[in-house]
Each structure stands twice: as structure tokens, then as C-alpha cells.
Amino acid sequence: MAVVTTPGEEMHALVERMYPLCRSITGDGVRATLDVVGEHLPLEVHEVPTGTQVLDWTVPQEWNVREAWIADPSGRRVVDLADSSLHVLGYSVPVSARMPLSELRPHLHTLPEHPKWVPYRTSYYKPDWGFCLAQETLDALPDGEYEVRIDSTLADGHLTYGEHVVSGQVPDEVLVSSHVCHPSLANDNLAGIAVAVFLARSLGESTPYYTYRFLFAPGTIGAITWLARNAGRVERVRHGLVLACAGDRGSLTYKRSRRGDAEIDRVMRYVLETSGRPHEIREFTPYGYDERQFCSPGFDLGVGSLSRTPYAGYPEYHTSADDLDFVTPEAMEDTLAVCREAFAVLDRNRRYVNLSPYGEPQLGRRGLYGALGGRSDAQEAQMAMLWVLSLSDGEHGLLDVAERAGLPFDTVVAAADALHGAGLVKA
């Protein structure tokens, strides 16, 4: 029997490969993740030294952890990083000690309301150490002397991020950003990374109009580092999309850019609405993922965020229940499809100028119009041409035309192409 692999299944397989890696905002887990991505996409990997000033921030020390476990009084390892990268508090300082449970207790993080789940916790900027575990595990711990070991390193090193660029016809860029700093959380954000990878590959199959830049960087500090190092070219970023929580079973959620009416906002709304998919459009808030940085008032880029169930909107968020079963091939395929549809609109949303704006140009003589007059059934294609001519005043793009005319975007693009071919409009 032939085994047919769908893109959704391929994305899920990619998620599975990245899942066990112990990612953080720096360190070898990020590098290993970018290596996996790099098997699918040529990736330019940047290493930015600890201590580098990036905007208001400083690149922190690099964190790596080799082992982290708690052994109970009987010597049994009751919590072990080897089982899940969530078990260690991110950026834990090293520790090697024996202590009674009462002393250990303040370093143990659980989710009492979900006693089987392990929470995800970090302490990037305040030196601390700790473990995350299920409440059930905690409840079963006997009193006594525990051995605690975190073999981690916090040392000068680098912050690592990767970029992949699909060159377009113009240097104006569309930025697609996915954070790569979370450990074993499938939806947040391995699914986003996987969708970004497949989106980049599909865009690379032809030469799009815009140049598309895919950024795989740790959240917050990674985006800030990228912005700091690319300050002189940020203006090229005309549109952007942050991909996060891209694989759960919920319907799609688009969060507008801070501008609220950026072109990406209009395109995403149009595609989501006309596609008939259940979806939600949210206003910008200065919380969430890296749109926080891209949309900070100094940059104020036209960058929105696409998720399925959004940031902190599901109980499994930032817990061990955000696992490989939580994300589905179908959901990732759907997210990918919407991105492709949206970029297909964005990429062709030109503004034309009618070169014959006084009265209608005679379309018939150019073969663009049915010759037999008196018929009332104006065809869509002809209506699209009339609409493009009417609105091509330098103020309206083809999406404006499609929306005002109530015509499919593709029909409008075809009309504009025909008019352009006839020399009646210029781009």
C-alpha cells in the first residue's frame, strides 16, 4: 500500500523532531532546533555575543543544562529533565545539594488546578533555580532528605537566531516571525515554526513580488536583538505576521497590528471572511508574542499575529498538556493554507493608475469588451475592468477594488492584468 504523506503530516513530523529539545532564549537547544529547521530551509544563523546592547536590553548570558533531577530519600529520581524539558525552571543556576523537602518546596512549581500537568516556568533575569512538576507528583513526595542536582551553565556565550529569505521582485519585505525559545510545548510554538517552514518553502517555489523574510528567534529578546541589528533596514518591512499557537484544534484568530488598519490587517480580515472559515479578529494589545516589539510605537510596523486559539486562551497553555497530541496535521495545514491565501492577496495588491481617466476608455476596440450592445448581463470580468478603471486613481489598491465591487480578488487581479496589458493602467 502506498503511503501518502500530507503537508500536515510532514509538519507534524517536524514538530515531533523538535519537541524533545530543551530550548530556552539562548543555548544549544535553540541551535539544535535551528539545525532541524535548516534541514528544510537554507538558514542564515546569527550568534550575538552576551553583553551586546540591543535597544533597551542586553544580550544575557547563555544558559545550558545537562542534567537536572531530584532524588527522593530512597534515591529514586522523582523529577528528571531527561523525561521532559519542562521539568527545570528555565535559566536555573546550578545546584547540587541535599535538603529536606521543606527546604526544597519553595523551588517546586506545580499547577494545583491541573494536578497531572507540569507547568512551564522561567527566571531569565533573576538568578534562581527550580523544578516544575505535576501536583500529583508533589503530593506523593515523602518527607525526608532529597538530593537535588542541576548541572547548568550560565556563562558568556551567544544568543542564536536564524533567518531565511525568499527573494522577491522588490526589496520591500514581508516579515514572518516565529519564536523558538519555548521547550517541549507543541503548539507554542513548534507548530508555528513548522507552518513558517512550509510557508517559506511554498513561497520559494516562485518569485513573489515582495521579499519574504522568515525569522526564527527567541521571544522578546530575540525580536529585540533582530530589531537592534537591523534598525537601518526596518523600514523595508512593509508587512509582517507573527505565527504562534498555529496547530491546535481551535479556529483561527487574527490579532491586528497596533495601527489597526495596516494592509496586513485588511488582507487577513478579507481572506478570513471570504474563506468562510470560522475565525475571530482581535484588536491589538501590547501583550502576546513578538508583535509587542515589532509594533512598539517607535517602529509601529504593520505586523499582525495569526494563531488558532490565541495566547493564554486554552488551559493547556504553557503546560505539559500542550503536547504532540494537542496539535494536529489538519490544523497546521489549515493555518498554512490561510497564510498562503493571505500572502497571495498581499503579494498582488498593487495600486494602479488609470492612464485614460477621462471618460471610459473604449474597451471594445481593444478586444476587452463584448461587442454586442444592449445586453444587460454585464459579465464579472467586464465589471472588474470597469471597477479597476474607476478606482485606479492612485488611492485604491486591488483589494479596495475587490471589496468595493464585491468581486473575487482573483477576478480583479485578472482585470488589472488585462488593462495593464492593454496599456490602460500603470502600476
At 92, list the grid cell: 536555573
When binding is defined by CB under 8 A, the residue of 361, 415, 418, 419 that contacts a second copy is 361
Taking CB under 8 A as the rule, does residue 389 contact a second copy? yes
Angstrom distances, CA of residue 199 to CA of 133, 213, 335, 337, 409 = 35, 11, 10, 9, 21
Site mask for a second copy (CB under 8 A), range 198-217, x = bound = --------------------
Taking CB under 8 A as the rule, does residue 372 contact a second copy? yes
Taking CB under 8 A as the rule, does residue 125 contact a second copy? yes
Q: Which is nearer to a second copy, 344 or 414 (CB)?
A: 414
Taking CB under 8 A as the rule, does residue 3 contact a second copy? no
β-partners of residue 241 are 176, 304
Amino acid symbol at 134: A
Shortest distance, CB of residue 213 to a second copy, whole angstroms?
A: 18
370 φ/ψ sector (left φ>0, alpha ψ -120 to 50, else beta): beta
Euclidean distance between CA atoms 222 and 292, whole angstroms: 12
Q: Which is nearer to a second copy, 243 or 425 (CB)?
A: 425
Q: Hey, CA dihedral for 370, 373, 375, 378, is it positive or negative?
A: positive
Q: Which of 81, 246, 381, 382 is nearest to 254 (CA)?
A: 246
Taking CB under 8 A as the rule, does residue 124 contact a second copy? yes
Euclidean distance between CA atoms 263 and 146, whole angstroms: 57
Q: Which is nearer to a second copy, 122 or 177 (CB)?
A: 122
Taking CB under 8 A as the rule, does residue 292 contact a second copy? yes
> How many CA atoms are closer than 13 Å to the CA of 316, on its beta-carbon side?
20
Shortest distance, CB of residue 223 to a second copy, whole angstroms?
A: 7
Taking CB under 8 A as the rule, does residue 286 contact a second copy? yes
Taking CB under 8 A as the rule, does residue 121 contact a second copy? yes
Taking CB under 8 A as the rule, does residue 326 contact a second copy? no
- Please return the burial class of 2, using the count of CB atoms within 10 Å of its CB with bins 0-12, 13-18 and 19+: exposed
At 9, list the grid cell: 503530516
When binding is defined by CB under 8 A, the residue of 393, 408, 423, 426 that contacts a second copy is 393
Can you spell out the DSSP letters for 72-95? -TTS-EEEETTT-GGGBPBTPPPE
Q: Which of residues 79-108 bind a second copy (CB under 8 A)?
A: 90
Strand, coil or helix: 250: coil
Under a CB-based contact definition with an 8 Å cutoff, are residues 149 and 68 in contact? yes
Q: Which is nearer to a second copy, 87 or 292 (CB)?
A: 292
Contacts within 8 Å (CB) and 24+ apart, 401-409: 402/270, 403/270, 407/380, 407/383, 408/274, 408/380, 409/270, 409/274, 409/345, 409/348
Shortest distance, CB of residue 287 to a second copy, whole angstroms?
A: 6
Site mask for a second copy (CB under 8 A), range 222-241, x = bound = -xx--xx--x----------
When binding is defined by CB under 8 A, the residue of 71, 93, 165, 386 that contacts a second copy is 386
When binding is defined by CB under 8 A, the residue of 7, 296, 350, 422 that contacts a second copy is 296
Q: Which of 127, 128, 130 is nearest to 138 (CA)?
A: 130
Residue owning grid cell 523551588: 107
Taking CB under 8 A as the rule, does residue 179 contact a second copy? no
Shortest distance, CB of residue 306 to a second copy, whole angstroms?
A: 19
When binding is defined by CB under 8 A, the residue of 53, 102, 206, 376 that contacts a second copy is 376
Mark the segment that binds a second copy (CB under 8 A) among 165-173, 195-203, 273-281, 382-390. Answer: 382-390
Q: Which is nearer to a second copy, 150 or 166 (CB)?
A: 150
Euclidean distance between CA atoms 56 and 335, whole angstroms: 34
When binding is defined by CB under 8 A, the residue of 357, 410, 417, 420 that contacts a second copy is 357
- The footprint of a second copy (CB under 8 A) covers 55-57, 90, 119-126, 128, 220, 223-224, 227-228, 231, 258, 283, 285-287, 292-293, 295-300, 311-312, 317-318, 354, 356-362, 364-365, 371-376, 378, 383, 386-387, 389-393, 404-405
